[in-house]
Amino acid sequence: MDALRISSIKRKKPISVLVNGKKVIAYQGEMVHAVLLSAGYRVLRKTRNQKGRSLFCGMGVCYDCLVTVNGVPGQRACMTEVHDQMEITILES
């Protein structure tokens, strides 16, 4: 869904990642959170009180954007660079 990306930015090589089992196109050098936002994912997890969480600080301080990457839970989406065939699991919204 490249319509949500800034078109004037030059991107590196396109790669594929899996988000909740669905193929999503990403670009080398992007952070997981950028890929998720461009694919239309907004809520990445919920708190114990069922409040939705997504990107807040964007620099790895707040831990609101935690996702599971390649089976490892608690990874910060704003600090994790995508790699080809990476498997990302987020809350089903």
Domains observed in the chain: 2-89 (3.10.20.440)
Kindly report whether the global pTM for this prediction surpasses the value 0.85.
Answer: no
Q: Quick one: tokens of 60?
A: 């790895």
Residues 83, 34 contacting (CB under 8 angstroms):
no
Cα gap 70→87, rounded to integer Å:
5
Using one digit for the tens of pLDDT, what is the confidence trace for 33-65? 999 999 999 888 888 888 888 888 888 898 889
Nearest Cα to 88, choosing from 69, 74, 65? 69
Residues 40, 20 contacting (CB under 8 angstroms):
no
Residues 83, 75 contacting (CB under 8 angstroms):
no
Q: What per-residue confidence (pLDDT) applies to 3?
A: 58
Residues 6+ apart with CB under 8 A from 59: 78, 79
Cα gap 66→17, rounded to integer Å:
17
